Amino acid sequence: MEGTEQNLAFFAVYNMETTDIVSLYQNSSEELYSLFEYFYDHFHTNPQNSSHGNFISSHSNNVHALDQLRTIKNKASSSSQFVKKMMASLPYTCQSQSPSPYFDLSLFRYDKPNVVKFKIKPGSDSGASDSRAKRISSFLFHPFFPLALSIQQTYMQPTVVNLHFRR
C-alpha cells in the first residue's frame, strides 16, 4: 500500500433512533472535519443529568479554542494529514473531557514558552527495578485538584499504581 492509503479509515454517522446510517466519511474528509470543528460537543456523550458538561471548553463552544485550532490547522504542512490526525482522536475517552477551569481557554491562555513544566516519576523510589524491562505508564489527572494517578505495567510484574500530589 502507498503511504497515504495505509492509514485509511471510515466513519459512519448513525441515527440511534431510526437505526439508519446517515452518512459515511473517509478519515481525510474535509466535510467530516467541518462537522468536527463546528459540532465537536456532539462527538461525545455527556450525562444528561450532569451540570459539569456545561463547563467543558471545546472549539465548538469557545471562540478562543476555535481560534487556537484554526491556527494549528493553518500551520500544518498538509491539510489532509491534519484532518486525519484530528479524526484519529475519535472516539474520545472520558478523561479528555474535563470540566477543569484550567482547560477553559476563555479563562486561561497558555503560551508555550510560559507553560509550567513538571515531571512525574511513575516508578517506585526503591530503585530495585530492572532497567532493561519495558515499562508502560499511564496517567490519570484529577479535573481540578493538583493530583494524578500513575499506572505502571511491566511485563511479568504486578501493576503498580501511585498517587502523585503537590506538596
Per-residue pLDDT reduced to its tens digit, 102-135: 666 666 666 666 666 666 776 655 455 556 777 8
Kindly tell me if the per-residue pLDDT of 94 is higher than 80.
no
Residue 39, classified by CB atoms within 10 Å of its CB into exposed (0-12), middle (13-18) or buried (19+), is: exposed
The 10s digit of each residue's pLDDT in 7-62 is: 788 888 888 889 899 999 998 899 988 888 888 777 765 555 555 556 677 777 78
Output the nine-digit C-alpha cell for 97. 473531557
Kindly tell me if the per-residue pLDDT of 95 is higher than 60.
no
Pairwise pLDDT comparison (140 vs 91), residue with the higher score: 140
Amino acid at 64: H
Looking up cell 503498580, which residue turns up?
160
Output the nine-digit C-alpha cell for 8. 485509511
